[in-house]
Structure 1
Amino acid sequence: MLDWKKGTSEPTGTVGVSARGARGQVGGFWLGRALAGLLALYLLGALLVGWYWSQEPQLFPVQQSAQAAAEQAQRKLVGGYTTVATLKRVAQTLLDKPGGYLSNDIAPPGLWLDNMPSWEYGVLVQVRDLSRALRKDFARSQSQSTEDANLIKAEQRFNFDNKSWALPASEAEYAEGLKSLERYLKALADPNQQNAQFYTRADNLNSWLGDVATRLGSLSQRLSASVGRVRLNTDLLEGQSAAVGAPLSEEEVKTPWLQIDNVFYEARGQAWALSHILRAIEVDFADVLAKKNATVSVRQIIRELEAAQEPLWSPMVLNGSGYGVLANHSLVMANYISRANAAIIDLRTLLSQG
């Protein structure tokens, strides 16, 4: 039975229940505000960390870096050492840059970022192409010679899925590829080991440059398609030969709006990696390039690729129309890439005929 307070018409038990309910509402309100504050702080921290992780690595001096690495390992800087050491450092940058390797992140803030993973993929494309060229061309004297076992393993590791986060993770596989390159470098610098070789010949260099030209040509087309354009469809119909040809039709080629920045940063990644590799090629193939009068051509290619690394002052990749008010960063990048590609085609001509 409830007792009644004097001078009131309300049971004392009801007052107690109401007070506890009010205190519960106040406590829930402050708890909600605390959780919201913590969430806001987390999002702000993730935003700042994501901005820091999205900073592209700076260019590094190739020859000095290779020389320092050789001295630290107490090795002689033999022919080919600069190229392989540069490939190793370029690949190492994917793992050591701020935030590490981001393409396979499954948690914020890496999960929210797409520009840096696209940059990483661009670098990885050039790493894969050069590791393949090392195995099948640079390290072999002729078509019937044996492939280097360390370079076989390096190519396999670098061609692992770039988005794997489970065991084995992409980073672990790429780290194994770096170890294989290191073993090849050790054998290359050891005069007592004759199995590891690096042949600085014009035909070897020309073969790799053919792959580079194909990559840059594709990039140039994808960058130019940011504004959309109509082109003739020159693809042959199935079953028809090139001599007969196929009916030509027009088709619109346009990069999807959400993919424009991805293509742009992939191009920056490829240009970053390729500029370093070509500087190393200029060192190791100095005699070949001088004999073919091609040194200036290599330096011009490097200049175009390094110009593509200029800082992007806009907070986003702008996609204005060709002659519109706003800039189109993809078209600017396409200009540098296509000019570098044209110079590579001229360089290949010099190497084969000069």
Structure 2
Amino acid sequence: MLDWKKRTEGLRDNVDNSVDGARSYFGGLWLSRALGTLLALYLLIALVVGWYWSQEPELFPVQQHSQAAAEAAQRKLTVGYTTVETVKQVASTLLTKPGGYLSNDLAPPGLWLDDMPSWEYGVLVQVRDISRALRKDFARSQSQSTEDPDLAKAEPRFNFDNKSWALPASEDEYAEGIKSLDRYLARLSDPSQANAQFYARADNLNNWLGDTATRLGSLSQRLSASVGRVRLNTDVEPNQPIPEGQIVPVREEEVKTPWLQIDNVFYEARGQAWALSHILRAIEVDFADVLAKKNATVSVRQIIRELEAAQEPLWSPMILNGSGYGVLANHSLVMANYISRANAAIIDLRTLLSQG
């Protein structure tokens, strides 16, 4: 009798243990499935948000935007207003576009994106160049004149590290640069403020175009290097003078953009072209008299046309890197074509400004 009770209790304990084990198993399985579902949902949302944040901003009408901004702020549309207001808007786009400024993001999906940060850097390069030109040339009557205090504050703000996350963040520095430009605009549009000037002269424009041509020339070379090519290196070794009558030694070397950098260079070029096309449209407004006297208006419009053509929609989900005459397209070479043509037109424009 006692043996029967013990066997019954043992069977009951085994059943209870089996039930508890099954509950633990199915509970763990449910938890893992729930976590897997949440992770998949998070990745899907991050993918959609990342795709939305990667959309490049559209081109905006420069002259209409400047007129509307001047009316909203009750300011007079003076010479130089369109250029500075356009620089403000271009810089503001970095902060206000979908997703905001992404180059210094430390969390997904911004952390996973590299195309849009490259685009942002391209825009930033042109903002830095034009802010330096404003401080150094456009706002000064001559090399010995005093620089504008607000422009002197704006330029270093835009040259701040583009990947700083905090203390201070890149966005905060760029926002301060935009505020400095706005203070300069407020004085420029006020006839009673004689200390704010904008000198729309051919030499000032030519100096900035020289920096722009250098930027585009380097960018074109980097884009062309996507397929790899052999070039002649005529660089002389440092501290190694060449004896009189001796030919400079020529070496061949292959230049090729690393595979993981091809899309970054492409989107940096898109960003520079986007920003530069807007700035040149503003230049066409503020330097209209200079360009007309030099017969250079058509040249400026040709540059803008090439840069805006580089903004055509990209229908491929990735940047293709086929060979020059291969089956697949090479988007970098197509972009290099537009950039090179714009650069050649800038060189012609500089000749007109200096000799026309």
TM-score, L = length of structure 1: 0.97
Deviates more, 1:260-269 or 1:4-13: 4-13
CA distance in structure 1 between the aligned counterparts of 2:241 and 2:321, rounded to whole angstroms: 39
1:92-143 deviation line (CA, Å, top 9, x unaligned)? 0000000000000000000000000000000000000000000000000001
Post-superposition offset of 1:21: 1.5
- 1:83-122 to structure 2, matched below 5 A, reads 83-122=83-122
Q: 2:72 corresponds to which residue?
A: 72
CA distance in structure 2 between the aligned counterparts of 1:344 and 1:289, rounded to whole angstroms: 13
Identity of aligned residues (%): 82
Q: 2:286 corresponds to which residue?
A: 284
CA distance in structure 2 between the aligned counterparts of 1:297 and 1:150, rounded to whole angstroms: 32
Deviates more, 1:232-241 or 1:19-28: 232-241
- 1:301-312 to structure 2, matched below 5 A, reads 301-312=303-314
Amino acid at match of 1:132: R
CA distance in structure 2 between the aligned counterparts of 1:89 and 1:283, rounded to whole angstroms: 16
CA distance in structure 2 between the aligned counterparts of 1:88 and 1:126, rounded to whole angstroms: 12
Aligned 8 A contact 1:202 1:288 in 2: yes
DSSP-derived class of the 2:238 partner = coil
CA distance in structure 1 between the aligned counterparts of 2:255 and 2:76, rounded to whole angstroms: 51
1:314-349 deviation line (CA, Å, top 9, x unaligned)? 000000001000000000000000000000000000
Match of 1:299 among 291, 297, 301: 301
Root mean square deviation of aligned Cα: 1.6
DSSP-derived class of the 1:135 partner = helix
Deviates more, 1:16-25 or 1:116-125: 16-25
Is residue 124 of structure 1 aligned with residue 124 of structure 2?
A: yes
CA distance in structure 1 between the aligned counterparts of 2:171 and 2:9, rounded to whole angstroms: 74
CA distance in structure 2 between the aligned counterparts of 1:98 and 1:5, rounded to whole angstroms: 73
Is residue 264 of structure 1 aligned with residue 280 of structure 2?
A: no
CA distance in structure 1 between the aligned counterparts of 2:230 and 2:141, rounded to whole angstroms: 46
CA distance in structure 2 between the aligned counterparts of 1:46 and 1:273, rounded to whole angstroms: 28
CA distance in structure 1 between the aligned counterparts of 2:7 and 2:57, rounded to whole angstroms: 79
Check 1:11–1:250 CA distance in 2 against 1; reply closer, same or farther (3 A cut).
Answer: same
CA distance in structure 1 between the aligned counterparts of 2:167 and 2:68, rounded to whole angstroms: 34
- 1:1-12 to structure 2, matched below 5 A, reads 10-12=10-12
Q: 1:333 corresponds to which residue?
A: 335
CA distance in structure 2 between the aligned counterparts of 1:193 and 1:30, rounded to whole angstroms: 72
Paired residues, number: 353
CA distance in structure 2 between the aligned counterparts of 1:50 and 1:284, rounded to whole angstroms: 38
Post-superposition offset of 1:258: 0.3
Q: 2:237 corresponds to which residue?
A: 237
Q: 2:61 corresponds to which residue?
A: 61
1:36-92 deviation line (CA, Å, top 9, x unaligned)? 000000000000000000000000000000000000000110000000000000000
1:226-253 deviation line (CA, Å, top 9, x unaligned)? 0000000022221246887631100000
Q: 1:22 corresponds to which residue?
A: 22
1:143-188 deviation line (CA, Å, top 9, x unaligned)? 1100001001100110000000122100000000010000000000
Q: 2:42 corresponds to which residue?
A: 42
- 1:170-209 to structure 2, matched below 5 A, reads 170-209=170-209
Check 1:5–1:164 CA distance in 2 against 1; reply closer, same or farther (3 A cut).
Answer: farther
- 1:219-230 to structure 2, matched below 5 A, reads 219-230=219-230
Amino acid at match of 2:63: Q
CA distance in structure 1 between the aligned counterparts of 2:265 and 2:229, rounded to whole angstroms: 17
Q: Which runs of 4+ in 1 moved over 3 A?
A: 2-11, 240-246
Q: 2:252 corresponds to which residue?
A: 250
DSSP-derived class of the 1:246 partner = coil
Is residue 157 of structure 1 aligned with residue 157 of structure 2?
A: yes
Check 1:8–1:308 CA distance in 2 against 1; reply closer, same or farther (3 A cut).
Answer: same
Match of 1:315 among 314, 317, 322: 317
Amino acid at match of 1:45: I
Q: 2:277 corresponds to which residue?
A: 275
Aligned 8 A contact 1:4 1:12 in 2: no
CA distance in structure 2 between the aligned counterparts of 1:7 and 1:76, rounded to whole angstroms: 100
DSSP-derived class of the 2:231 partner = strand
